[in-house]
Amino acid sequence: MNELLKNLTEVDGVSGDEKEVRLLIRDLIADHVDEWHVDSLGNLLATKKGTGATNMCVLVDAHMDEVGLMVTEIGSDGMLKFAPVGGFNPLALLGKVVQIGAKKITGVIGAKPIHLLSGSERDRVVQTDAMRIDIGAKSKEAAASKVTIGDRAAFITEYEELGKTALGKAFDNRAGCAALIELLRAKPFSFDLCAAFTVQEEVGLRGAQVAAYAVKPDAALVLESTPAYDLPNEEDASSNVALGKGPSIYVMDRGTIQDPRLVAHITRTAAARGIPYQLRQPGGGGTNTASIQRVLGGIPAATIAVPGRYAHTPTMMINLDDYANVVRLAEATLRDLTPELVNRKW
Ligand SMILES: [Zn+2]
């Protein structure tokens, strides 16, 4: 059992409320870094000093937050209205169990039983603004004694391993957090490694922007989980990657064209070390790379991701070999990184 993935995915950290994740990571890295602090947004920034062989500073980012819900209104019947925090397909929500706020009040996202649905209702997708979270309260007062407006609701999913497949919530992006923790536990790099466990990625790549300004890195590597859509599919032309085929390397997404020199360096490194990889087909989606590469004078940045099925639902799946290879590839990429690679001369 991968205890690191288990522990990281079983805590809650819906965007803007990442404290549980942050405290856990702080305890996991404190003995392996030279300095750490938390900035005003809640990013956990840590420095692992290099050997002094180069004077570069490289930012490695992994966002701590996960998608979830926020209580927006308590109804007179004790039912909770909510807004999505991050992107959701409403189909993923009905009937799912959540825990709300610091008191971790259990609730279920209510659904009309199929027995009572009319013919036309069966064909319609219920939108999130028509859904309610039911915490078993009979009145507004009863509900308000347990939860408050602004509380986050997080999914509850126990981590499990089914052979090489791991099942759990929030691999997007606790898989990236776990990989970054492993890098901090490795021997020092030739440069200062500035680790940024960032907040609020799922609502607009916000924490990473602040972190990049603060760190002023010479280059950046973003560790992520990217959606895999590799189920049997008649016309397989989706912009996607598959489980078990190795780390996924971004070339372009909605927010970036990744630094071509870094992408070439990563693929070269993978080939030289015999690490499998897959180029994610350019297309939609986005990562913190978009925020980082555009601040200050521009920062060379690239992304390595663990493919994950069922992203932004209560239950994701990743392949544990892919995860291990992301750690290997990220470490090898950083070990072989030189100032010559980072300083653009053309
Ligand atoms: Zn993510």
Q: What is the pLDDT of residues 291-328, one digit of tens each?
A: 999 999 899 999 999 999 998 899 999 999 999 999 99
| Tokens standing for residue 303 | 């992304």
Digit-coded pLDDT (tens) for 205-250: 999 999 999 999 999 999 999 888 776 666 655 557 889 999 999 9
Q: pLDDT averaged over consecutive 10-residue blocks of the chain (346 residues)?
A: 97 97 98 97 97 94 97 95 90 92 95 72 81 95 97 97 97 97 97 97 94 96 88 62 92 92 96 95 87 93 95 93 98 95 77
Superfamily of domain 3-66+169-342: Zn peptidases (3.40.630.10)
User: Could you tell me the distance, in angstroms and rounded to a whole number, from the CA of residue 335 to the centre of ligand 1?
Assistant: 24
**What does the alpha-carbon distance between residue 248 and residue 256 come to, in Å, rounded to a whole number?**
15
Ligand 1 midpoint to CA 79 (Å)? 30
Q: Return the structure tokens found at 178.
A: 């776990």
| 235-243 long-range Cβ contacts below 8 angstroms, 24+ apart | 238/281, 239/280, 239/281, 239/282, 239/283, 239/284, 239/285, 240/280, 240/281, 241/278, 241/280, 241/281, 241/305, 241/307, 242/278, 242/307, 243/165, 243/307, 243/308, 243/309, 243/317, 243/318, 243/319, 243/322
CB atoms near residue 78 (< 10 Å)? 19
For ligand 1, the distance from its centroid to the CA atom of residue 287, given in whole angstroms, is: 6
- Cα of 222 from ligand 1 centre, angstroms: 10
d(CA 47, CA 136): 46
Spacing, Cα 305 to ligand 1 middle (Å): 9
- Tokens 């009905």, residue? 94
Active-site residue among 18, 66, 182, 201? 201
> What are the residue boundaries of the structural domains of the chain, listed by start?
3-66+169-342, 70-155
Model pLDDT, residue 106: 97
What distance in angstroms lies between residue 309's CA and the mean position of ligand 1's atoms? 13
Residue 201 Cα to ligand 1 midpoint, Å, equals 7
Cβ 256 vs Cβ 293: under 8 Å:
yes
Rounded to the nearest whole angstrom, what is the distance from the C-alpha of residue 241 to the centroid of ligand 1?
A: 15
* CATH 2.40.30.40 given to domain 70-155: yes
Same fold across 3-66+169-342 and 70-155: no
Cα–Cα distances (Å) from 162 to 7, 64, 313, in that order, read 17, 25, 19
- Tell how far the Cα of 260 is from the centroid of ligand 1, in angstroms: 21
Question: The pTM is what?
Answer: 0.92
Respond yes or no: is residue 331 known to be catalytic: no
Residue 233 CA to ligand 1 center (angstroms) comes to 24
CA 177–ligand 1 middle distance (angstroms): 10
